[in-house]
């Protein structure tokens, strides 16, 4: 196999397939009303799909890290392709970019049960581009979602295998992935808002920094609120 083929395989297996696993994990967390896990798993889902698109199209993005907005900008400014997203998905990505990248509850967060629909929509819209197939990329957003299938995709394999334990968590109340179109779904309505320890007690910042790493923007925000 050529280097190009092996790099494409890396993009699919390390980013798209792993993103698929994060996606199912995020659905499980949202179903269980675990906001912190849901936000982080959603961030990882979107980040990996975006990095798959970047690598498949050989768009340099070594400085993107966990910045979803920077990843989208790199793709759309590359001149190689444009990722077309609905407004709800654009807004959800911005929301996850704000709250989802903090694994350790460094900042306050808020999440809603209905966000599972936003996640499903975002996963479907982004995942269309995680392939080298031009036909797949040109699928219109208006096309029935469950009819969109990636050849060899992990989610597709899970859907086809009725014995797979990940199948039920993937298909549960999912209007975007499945064997048939669904006109109606039922979601668990919940909302959870939490203030982080650093937000409540910014006076502990300097002591915490002696032992753990905190992102620069978190440190700056804490210093603003520090008494």
Provide the pLDDT for residue 216.
87
- pLDDT at position 226 is 63
Give, in order, the Cα–Cα distances in Å from 146 to each of 44, 47, 128, 175.
23, 22, 12, 8
Instruction: Tell me the whole-structure pTM to 2 decimals.
Output: 0.92
| Listed residue (186, 208, 211, 183) closest to 197, CA to CA | 208
What pLDDT, on the 0 to 100 scale, is given for residue 157?
A: 96
At 146, is the secondary structure helix, strand, or coil? helix
pLDDT averages per 10-residue partition of the chain, 227 residues: 93 97 98 96 98 95 91 94 92 96 90 96 93 64 63 94 97 90 84 92 92 90 76
Q: Around Cβ 211, how many Cβ atoms within 10 Å?
A: 6
Asked if 109 and 35 touch (Cβ cutoff 8 Å), the reply is: yes
Q: How many CB atoms lie within 10 A of CB 36?
A: 18
Say how many Å lie between the first and final Cα of the chain, rounded: 61
* Owner of token pair 């620069």: 216
Give the residue from 134, 153, 152, 143 showing the smallest Cα distance to 176: 143
Alpha-carbon span 136 to 129, nearest angstrom: 7
Residues in Cβ contact with 18 at an 8 Å cutoff, skipping those fewer than 6 apart: 48
Q: Which residues contact 33 (CB under 8 A, 6 or more apart)?
A: 113, 188, 190, 192
Structure tokens at 180: 């048939």
Q: How many CA atoms lie within 13 A of 22 on its CB side?
A: 24
* Nearest by Cα to 119 from 136, 138, 137, 95: 95
The first and second tokens of residue 99, run together, are: 């709250």
Q: According to the model, what pLDDT value does residue 217 have?
A: 86
């Amino acid at each position: 196999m050529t280097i190009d083929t092996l790099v494409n395989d890396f993009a699919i297996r390390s980013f798209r397939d792993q993103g698929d696993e994060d996606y199912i994990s995020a659905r499980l967390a949202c179903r269980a009303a675990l906001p912190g896990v849901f936000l982080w798993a959603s961030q990882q889902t979107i980040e990996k799909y975006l990095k798959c698109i970047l690598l498949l199209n050989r768009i340099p993005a070594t400085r993107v890290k966990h910045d979803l907005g920077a990843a989208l900008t790199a793709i759309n400014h590359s001149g190689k392709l444009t990722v077309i997203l609905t407004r709800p998905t654009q807004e959800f990505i911005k929301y996850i970019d704000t709250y989802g990248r903090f694994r350790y509850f460094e900042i306050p967060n808020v999440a809603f049960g209905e966000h599972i629909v936003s996640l499903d929509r975002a996963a479907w819209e982004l995942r269309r581009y995680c392939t080298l197939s031009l036909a797949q990329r040109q699928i219109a957003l208006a096309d029935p979602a469950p009819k969109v299938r990636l050849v060899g995709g992990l989610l597709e394999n899970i859907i086809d295998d009725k014995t797979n334990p990940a199948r039920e968590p993937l298909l549960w109340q999912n209007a975007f992935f499945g064997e048939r179109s669904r006109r109606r779904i039922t979601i668990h309505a919940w909302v959870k808002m939490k203030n982080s320890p650093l937000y409540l007690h910014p006076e502990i910042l300097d002591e915490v920094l002696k032992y753990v790493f905190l992102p620069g923007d978190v440190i700056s925000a804490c210093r603003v609120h520090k008494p």
